[in-house]
Amino acid sequence: MSHTQIDYSQLFRLDGRTVVVIGAGSGIGRESAQALAAQGAHVVVADYSLGGAEATAALITQRGGIAEAYEINVLDDDAVVAAAERFGDASALVFTAATNVRKRMEDYTLDEFDRVVNLNLRASFQLIRHFGTRFAANGGGSIIGFASIRAQVVEPGQGVYAATKAGLVQLAKTAAAEYGAQGVRVNVVAPGVVETPLTAQIKANDEWYGAYAQKSALGRWSRPEELAGAVVYLASDASSFVTGSTLFVDGGWTAIDGRFTPPAS
């Protein structure tokens, strides 16, 4: 992108570029895949569930977009290496896959600890370094992970999940430092509370759901599609000088206290 002749009408366009979205079978990943395709990207719709990936790819192609479904288990190291080899010439990687076990630390089993850490942190590490190495060899690219407000603020029962998300933030910063000279940018999006399958347990409890809605400055939960713009931004030339950063899309959750609105005077 020339600094003297920028066509701002094309700033967010991704025509002729391939973007790999892992976790695109549902939720935020599915919405992000559709948004990227709408900007002209060839989207590799990757998911543990091939059926979910195929359903998302169908949504894209029905609207004239370009997509292909790809089955991947990110807990399988060989599968991650193979994906990086196959799609190493992509311009961006997005990964949203995560899990959570809501338990106080004293009640956690080590099997549960391993399950959350392996998917949220270990798999992220593998994706970042294998795709980062390939992107670096190919002249650059953008890697976009999903952290959480829990990387910064916590509540009882969020210990291991929060630790993995804080860990992902630091992995992304380090990868940004290590691959930056080769033109690879690495950033994370940090959502607040989003209506996805991962939060169904909370939505089922009216008091819990309402408390979370009131915690944000906007007074509500976010919808998965409200994260898609951040993904498009970080995948596109609009963010060409953005790396090692955390983009909070949390409705103001981390900005305000939220527990009480005092009188103004």
- Dist CA 237 CA 110 (whole Å): 42
Q: Quick one: tokens of 71?
A: 């089955």
* Cross-strand partners of 188: 145, 246
Report the run of H or E that residue 188 belongs to, with start and end: strand 184-191
Q: Are strands 42-47 and 66-71 parallel, antiparallel or unpaired?
A: parallel
Active site residue 233: no
- Dist CA 10 CA 29 (whole Å): 23
Angle between helices 159-179 and 123-137 (to 10 degrees): 10
Q: Among the options 161, 179, 212, 233, which is catalytic? A: 161
Report the run of H or E that residue 129 belongs to, with start and end: helix 123-137
- Dist CA 91 CA 146 (whole Å): 18
| 232: nearest Cα among 162, 155, 112, 144 | 144
Type of residue at 87: F
* Other Cβ atoms within 10 Å of 13 Cβ, number: 16
CA 73 from chain centre, in angstroms, equals: 16
**DSSP-based three-state secondary structure for 66:** strand
Q: Which residues are catalytic?
A: 161
